[in-house]
A and B are shown apart, each in its own frame.
Chain A
Amino acid sequence: MDMNEIKEIFFQECEEQLAELESGLLKLNDGDRDPETVNAVFRAVHSIKGGAGAFGLDDLVSFAHVFETTLDCVRSNKLEPTQDVLKVMLKSADVLADLTNAARDGGSVDEARSRTLIRELEALANGEVPAAAEAPASKPAVAAPKAAAPAPVVEKPAVNDEGFQPIPFSFGDFDEEPADRYVPTCQILFRPKKDLYAKGNEAALLLRDLSRLGEMSIYCDMDSLPPLDKMNPEEAYFSWKISVTTDKGEDGVRTVFEFAEWDCDLDIRTIEEEVVGEAANEEELPMQPVPFDLSILDEGGSTGSDEEPAVIESDAAAAVAAAETVSKVAQVASRAAENAKAAASAASAAQANQAAAAGQTIRVDLDRVDRLINLVGELVINQAMLSQSVVENDTNGTSSINMGLEELQQLTREIQDSVMAIRAQPVKPVFQRMARTVREIADITGKSVRLITEGENTEVDKTVIDKLAEPLTHMIRNAVDHGLEMPEKREALGKNPEGTVRLTAKHRSGRIVIELADDGAGINREKVRQKAIDNDLIAADANLSDEEIDNLIFHAGFSTADKVSDLSGRGVGMDVVKRSIQALGGRISISSKPGQGSVFTMSLPLTLAVLDGMVVTVAGQTLVVPLTAIVETLQPEASAIHSFGASQRLISIRNSFCPLVDVGRILNFRNTQANPMDGVALLVESEGGGQRALMVDAIQGQRQVVIKSLEANYTHVPGIAAATILGDGRVALILDVDAVVAASRGQSLRQDISLAATG
C-alpha cells in the first residue's frame, strides 16, 4: 500500500468525519445538549486534524486546530453553543470541507473566508474566558502535534507557519488551583487497550514522551498478565501508574496521549500537595518509584511493549504493596478531583467502544460489486432458460427437477435482491450537502431559512445519488432565491419570518420520490403567463389550466426572477433540471398554491442499472424502448395517416399532427418504409421538445431490463443507447429515442460511422 492509497483512505474517512461533524452541529443547532454529541463533533475535527498532520497538510491542520480549540471550549462547558456560535461553527465546517477538498484535488480555497472564520473562532474561544481572572493558569495551547502514530509526539513551536497565535484557554478543573505557585504532580493511570497497539501506537513511546515533561516515576502493573501458555500475544495486559511532576499541567499530559486517548483508559489527576502529603503520612511509601531505563527504548526502537517487564525488574511483593498504596492515593485524589471532566472522558471512551461495535463496514471497490451484480443477473437469466427447457422437454414433469428448479429460482431472486442492496446507499449525504447550500444562499440573499429533511435513510442506487446532487442544488437555490420571500415581507403577510424548505425522500412503488417543498409565495401565474407570451412560448389568447401554466417554468430559457442574481436566473433554469431528471429516467412535476408555496416532486428509478422498457419488434429485430420516453401507444388508422412532402408522413392524433418516424428505416434495418397500418405507433416526447410517433412492427411487452454497456467491448452506436439481455439469453438493443428523433429531423445518425467500423 503506497502513500497515495493511504492518503485516499484518509480523504474517504475525512468525508465521513465531515458528515458526522455536520450532522452533530445540526443536532446542537436543534437544541441537543447531549455531551456525546459535542464529543462526536470534537472527535470528528480532531481526527481530521490528526490525519492531516500526518500528511503535512498544514492549512488543514491549522484551521482544524483553531476549530478544535473552540469546540473544546464548548465541550468543557465554557462556551454555550448558542445559535450564533453554531452559525460560525457550521460555516467553519463548510470551510473545513473546502480545505479537505482542496487538499485532495488541488485548487484553492477562499483564504479571506477561512481567515475571517479563524478570527471568529478565536474570538469565541477567548470571549468566554475572562482574561484577567484566568490569566495565571492560561497556557498557550500546544500546537498540533504530528499525528503519525509510531513517531514520537513532537511539540511544535507555539506559533506555526500560518502565523496565527494559538488561543490561550484553560481547563476548568485545572484552573481551580493556582497553578503557578508550585509545580504540580500529575498522577496518571494509563491502561492501554488492545486497539492502541493495533493502531500502531506504542505505549513505551508514549511513556518516553511523558518523561520529557518533567520528573517522572513509573510503576507497571503486571497483575493481569496470565501465564505464558494462556497469553494472547495481541492482548494488552499491562497498565502503568505514572506520577510526573510537570509545569505543563494536565493538558500537557493529555497532549501526549492525544492520539491514544480513545484506545486506553486514561485517568489523569493533578495531585494537590496536601493530598500527596496526607497519603505520604498514611503510608511509608506512597509511590514506589521504579527505575525506568528509557535508554533501552532508544536502542530498541520497536521494542514490543509487552516485553517491557524485563526492564522493570521489581520485587513482586513490593509491587503489590505499591499498588495498594497507589490505589489508596488514587481514591483520595479521585474524591478531591471528582469533576465532570472525568465523567466526560469515561463517557467518550464508552462511546468509542459503542461506535466500534455498531458500524461494522468494509470498503469495496465499486467494480467488484458491479461484476457481482453482472454475474448474478446472468445467473437469473440462465436459471430462467434452464426452467424453460425443463418444462419443454419434460412433459410429465412433476419430477424433483421441477421442485429443485423452483427453489433455485427463489434463491437466485434473493441473491439478486441482496446484491442490488449492496449498491443502495442512503440519500443522507446529498441531503446534508443541501443543508450547506441552503445556508450559503440564505446568507447571500439575507433570508432566514430552515431546511427540514425527512427520510434521509431512504436508500437508492449510488449512481442515482451521485447524479442527484446537481439538479437538487439547483432546485434548492430556486426555492430559496425565488420561492421564499424576504423576512420583512413574510412578517407582513403574517408568516413566520423564517422560511421553511422541506426536503423529503421516500420509496413509492419501486421508485424513490423526492419532494422539495417551500412555504414561500408560490408561482406567480400571471407573471409566468406573461413571460411565456413575451417569449412566444404560448399564444397570447391561449387558454391554459393552472397546472399547465406551472409547467411552463420547465421550458428552456425561462426565469421569472426580475433581476438576475448570482445564484439563479442565469438563463439555465428548470428546463435543465427537468432534463437531468429525465436523463436519470425520472419525472418531475410541480404543484403550487399562491401564497402558500410550491412543491416539486421528483420520481426516480431506484437504480440506473435497471430500466423499465417496452420490448418491441422492428424488422425482425427485438428492441427495447425506455418507458419513460413513451407518452402513449396507438394503432394507426389509415384515415389518420397523411403524406407530407416527398417522403414524410404525419399522423393526426386528436387533431394535432405529429411526424411519423420509421425506426427500422432510421436504423437501416430495412430499406423501404414500412406500412404504418401494419405496425404500432409509439408517441414519444424527446429532449428537444415536441412529440414524434415512432413506428415499430409490434409490441412484445413491458419488462425491466438490465442495462449493459455496448462501449465496453464495441463502440458507441448512433441511435442505440445501450444493450440488454433478454430472458432467452439474447442481446437486445435499447433505443436512444432522442438520437432517433434527431435523425428524423435530418441530422445524420451516421456521422461517426467510420469509428464504428473498428469492430
Chain B
Amino acid sequence: MTYAANNLTHGRELIAFRIGDQEFCVNVMSVREIRGWTPATSMPHAPSYVLGVINLRGAVLPIVDLSLRLGMKPAEPTVRHVIIVAQVGTRVVGLLVDAVSDILTVTDDNMQPTPDIANEAAKAYARGILAIEGRMICLIELDALFPHTESEAA
C-alpha cells in the first residue's frame, strides 16, 4: 500500500485542510473548486454525515460532513467553514471542512506510511502521512471514503 501511495503522490500537488485540530490533504486533481458554506437542504433517510444538498450552479450537490465521516465529532457549520467540491469517480461531492490551509507539492521523500494502528476505518482511507514544517498531515483517499461499488448499486 505504501508503494502505491508513494507512486500516487509522486511530485503531486495536494490541498491541505483543517478539521478541528487535525490536518488532512487530498490530491489537488480531484478538487473542482472551494466555496463558502451555504445552508443545505436536508435529505430524508440520509446517513448522519450527509448534511443535505446545495445548488452548485444548477447541479444538486450533496454535502458531506467530513469530520463525521472520518469518525470525529460532527461539525457545526458557520460562515467560516468551507466546502471543497471534489470529484469522486463520476460524481461530485461537497466536503465540509473547517478551513483550507495550504497547497503542498510533495515528493516521495515527504511521505511516510500510515502507522499501524487499530482503527480500521482510519487505515482504510489514510494513504500516508506527511511531515512538513513540524506539522502532521494525513493524505486521504477519497475513493476509499465514497466507494464506487456502493454508489453504482444505488
Decide yes or no whether B73 CB sits under 8 A from chain A: no
B41 at the A/B interface (Cβ < 8 Å)? yes
1/0 contact string of B42-53 vs chain A (CB within 8 Å):
111111011011
The answer on a CB contact under 8 Å between B49 and A759 is yes
* B58 adjacent to A758 (CB under 8 Å): no
For chain A, what secondary structure do more than half of its interface residues adopt (helix, strand, loop), or is it mixed? Answer: loop
Query: Does A286 sit within 8 A of B, measured CB to CB?
Result: no
- Within the complex, the shortest CB–CB distance from A549 to chain B, in Å, comes to 41
* Contact assessment for A710 and B45 in the assembled complex, using a CB-CB cutoff below 8 Å: no
Interface membership of A136, Cβ < 8 A: no
* Nearest CB on A from B105, distance (A): 29
Residues of chain A from 332 to 386 with CB closer than 8 A to chain B in the complex? 374-375, 377-378, 381
- Is there an interface contact between B44 and A714, defined as CB atoms closer than 8 Å? no
Q: How far is the CA of A572 from the CA of B148 in the complex (A)?
A: 38
Contact B93 A713 (CB under 8 A): yes
Q: Is the CB of A375 within 8 A of B57?
A: yes
B55 and A758: CB pair below 8 A?
no
B147-A758 in contact (CB<8A): yes
With beta carbons under 8 angstroms apart, the residue of A715, A729, A749 that contacts B55 is A729
Asked if A378 meets B53 with Cβ closer than 8 Å, knowing A719-B45, A753-B45, the reply is no
From B44, B64, B91, residue with most partner A Cβ within 10 Å = B44
Known interface pairs A709-B60, A759-B93. Does A720 touch B55 (Cβ–Cβ under 8 Å)?
Answer: no
CA distance A659 to B152 in the complex (A): 36
Closest chain-A Cβ to B71's Cβ sits at a distance in Å of 14
Q: Does A755 reach chain B (CB closer than 8 Å)?
A: yes
- Given A712-B91, A725-B55, check contact A757 B47 (CB 8 Å): yes
Q: Is the CB–CB distance between B146 and A758 below 8 Å?
A: yes
Q: Kindly state whether residue B11 has any CB partner on chain A within 8 Å.
A: no
Q: A708: CB under 8 A from chain B?
A: yes
A731 within 8 A of B: yes
0 or 1 for each of A717-730: is its CB under 8 Å from B? (1 = yes): 11110010100011
> Chain B interface secondary structure, helix, strand, loop or mixed?
mixed
Give the shortest distance, in Å, between B97 (CB) and chain A (any CB): 15
In the assembled complex, which residues on chain B have CB atoms less than 8 Å from the CB atom of A714? 43, 50, 53, 60, 62, 91
Which single residue of chain A is at the shortest CB-CB distance from B41? A731
Contact with A along B19-41 (1 / 0, CB 8 A): 00000000000000000000111
Q: Is there an interface contact between A755 and B150, defined as CB atoms closer than 8 Å?
A: yes
Residues of chain B within 8 A (CB-CB) of A757 are 47, 150
Tell me which of B44, B61, B69 contacts A717 (CB under 8 A): B44
- The answer for the CA separation of A278 and B153 in the assembled complex, in Å, is 85
**Distance of A719 Cα from B44 Cα, bound (Å):** 8
List of A residues within 8 angstroms of B145 by Cβ: 759
Docked CA distance A375–B58 (Å): 6
Kindly list chain B residues whose C-beta atoms are within 8 Å of the C-beta of A669. 42, 44
A621 CB-CB contact with B under 8 Å = yes
User: Nearest-CB distance from A389 to chain B (Å)?
Assistant: 15
Tell me the residues in window 722-759 of chain A with beta carbons closer than 8 Å to chain B beta carbons. 723, 725, 729-733, 749-750, 752-753, 755-759
- Measured CB to CB, the nearest residue on chain A to B40 is A731
- Closest Cβ of chain B to A735, distance in Å, is 10
Q: Are A723 and B45 in contact (CB under 8 A)?
A: no
Q: Are A715 and B49 in touch, CB under 8 angstroms?
A: no
Assess the A755–B53 pair: CB atoms within 8 A.
no
Tell whether, in the assembled complex, residue B47 and residue A759 are in contact, meaning their CB atoms are under 8 Å apart. Answer: yes
User: B41, B59, B147: which contacts A713 (Cβ < 8 A)?
Assistant: B59
- Asked, given contacts A712-B59, A712-B91, whether A759 binds B45 with beta carbons under 8 Å apart, the answer is no
B108-154, CB < 8 A from A: 145-147, 150-151, 153-154
Q: Are A668 and B44 in contact (CB under 8 A)?
A: yes
Contact between chains at B41 and A733 (CB < 8 Å): yes
Q: Is A531 positioned at the interface, with any CB of B under 8 Å from its CB?
A: no
- Contact A759 B69, CB 8 Å, known A713-B59, A715-B151, A731-B60: yes
A374 and B92 contacting across the interface, CB-CB below 8 Å: no
How far is it, in angstroms, between the C-alpha of A554 and the C-alpha of B53 when the chains are bound? Answer: 39
Task: From known contacts A715-B151, A758-B150, infer whether A374 and B69 are also in contact, taking CB-CB under 8 Å.
Answer: no
A-B contact pairs, 12 of them (CB 8 A): A381-B55, A381-B58, A669-B44, A708-B59, A717-B46, A723-B41, A723-B53, A733-B43, A755-B153, A758-B151, A759-B69, A759-B93
Report which A residues bind B (CB closer than 8 A): 374-375, 377-378, 381, 621-622, 667-669, 708-720, 723, 725, 729-733, 749-750, 752-753, 755-759
Could you list which residues of chain B lie within 8 angstroms of chain A, going by C-beta atoms?
39-47, 49-50, 52-55, 57-62, 64, 69, 91-93, 145-147, 150-151, 153-154
